[in-house]
Amino acid sequence: MNAESHASGLSDLRWIKSSHSGGEGGECVEVAHSAASVHVRDSKHRERPSLTVGRAEWAAFVRFASE
């Protein structure tokens, strides 16, 4: 998959801002779930590439971060 087709597919996703992001425009992270993967991006720089990981890897990360 090239960067252009990847980016165009991300526009259809429903992005959710982290509950830890403040209203002041500080460090904001957005996450979107698709059938096979989870996408993470910086909400201040949406034109930049996002990080895409598998759903199992995302679940492992969330478990680790919650400990």
Residue-wise pLDDT tens digits, 7-43: 446 668 898 887 766 666 566 888 999 989 999 988 8
Can you give the pTM of this predicted structure?
A: 0.69
Domains of the chain: total: 1
d(CA 3, CA 57): 22
Is 27 in contact with 21 (CB distance < 8 Å)?
yes
| Residue ranges making up the domain that contains 60 | 3-66
pLDDT at 4 over 50: no
Strands of the 37-42 sheet, one edge to the other:
16-17, 29-33, 37-42, 51-54
d(CA 48, CA 26): 17
- Position 45 confidence tier, pLDDT thresholds 50, 70, 90: confident
